[in-house]
């Protein structure tokens, strides 16, 4: 079995379709979509529909990203309302034909998103972890928002951490972690990246055009 990790799609349906077309997908591949399906790009609704569709062909895990976290808390917290409205939320609402339709159409999907996915060899998470704490002690806000404190510190988990959220010009790789957000949706030229991991520890990166 292989894991295929994809993160930070940000409404860029064409890049997602292009990336998927480049993958030699097998029936026993397991997709781990690591959040930030929405905002910025023009077709957040289409992206959500497409990642849900992939579950018809493969086992899929869906994680929550910072943008979904802001969406889920926008109605009850002014800070997250600000984040949603100023970091791409209007594009998401437009793709759904209005803000009120987001939860009518995909409310179940957003409510069921997981904060992380753990295997013997890997931890998949949107942003990272606070390296001071065990996995069980993590604050959910850190899991979707943390940056430098995680990226530039060693963690204590036995697993290699696969993360997104912080964009790089090429995949970030160190001894204990791999970051695969290349800025899709944030920069017009940015590519979408998939990381394929097999049981032998082989790592392969595939990019959209």
Fold of 3-207: Purple Acid Phosphatase; chain A, domain 2 (3.60.21)
Distance CA 129, CA 137 (A): 10
Using an 8 Å Cβ cutoff, are 55 and 25 in contact?
no
Distance CA 152, CA 150 (A): 6
Tokens of 155: 């963690």
Within the chain, which residues score under 50 in pLDDT?
A: none
Tokens of 140: 């959910």
Show me where the domains of the chain are located: 3-207
Using an 8 Å Cβ cutoff, are 41 and 17 in contact?
no
Q: What is the pLDDT of residue 200?
A: 85
Distance CA 16, CA 207 (A): 10
> For tokens 């160190």, what's the residue?
174
DSSP 3-state assignment of 17?
helix
Q: What is the pLDDT of residue 145?
A: 98
Distance CA 206, CA 185 (A): 17
**Each residue's pLDDT tens digit, 36-80:** 999 999 999 999 999 999 999 999 999 999 999 999 999 999 999
Burial pattern 128-156, b for ≥16 Cβ within 10 A else e, equals bbbbeeeeeebeeebbbbbeeebbeeebe
Q: What is the pLDDT of residue 201?
A: 85
Q: What is the pLDDT of residue 64?
A: 99
Q: What is the pLDDT of residue 199?
A: 79
Tokens of 53: 């569709």
Using an 8 Å Cβ cutoff, are 62 and 114 in contact?
yes
Q: What is the pLDDT of residue 152?
A: 94
């Amino acid at each position: 079995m292989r894991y295929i990790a994809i993160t930070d799609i940000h409404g860029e349906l064409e890049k997602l379709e292009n990336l998927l077309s480049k993958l030699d997908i097998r029936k026993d591949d397991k997709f781990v979509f690591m959040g930030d399906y929405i905002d910025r790009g023009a077709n957040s609704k289409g992206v959500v529909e497409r990642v849900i569709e992939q579950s018809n062909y493969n086992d899929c895990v869906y994680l929550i990203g910072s943008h979904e976290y802001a969406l889920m808390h926008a109605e009850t917290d002014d800070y997250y309302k600000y984040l949603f409205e100023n970091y791409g939320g209007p594009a998401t609402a437009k793709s759904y034909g209005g803000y009120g339709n987001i939860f009518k159409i995909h409310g179940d999907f957003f409510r069921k998103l997981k904060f992380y996915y753990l295997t013997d060899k890997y931890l998949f998470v949107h942003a990272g972890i606070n390296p001071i704490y065990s996995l069980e002690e993590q604050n959910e806000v850190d899991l979707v928002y943390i940056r430098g404190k995680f990226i530039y510190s060693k963690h204590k988990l036995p697993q290699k951490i696969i993360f997104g959220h912080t964009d790089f010009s090429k995949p970030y790789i160190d001894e204990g972690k791999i970051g695969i957000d290349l800025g899709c949706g944030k920069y017009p030229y940015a590519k979408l990246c998939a990381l394929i991991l097999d049981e032998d520890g082989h790592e392969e990166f595939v990019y959209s055009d």
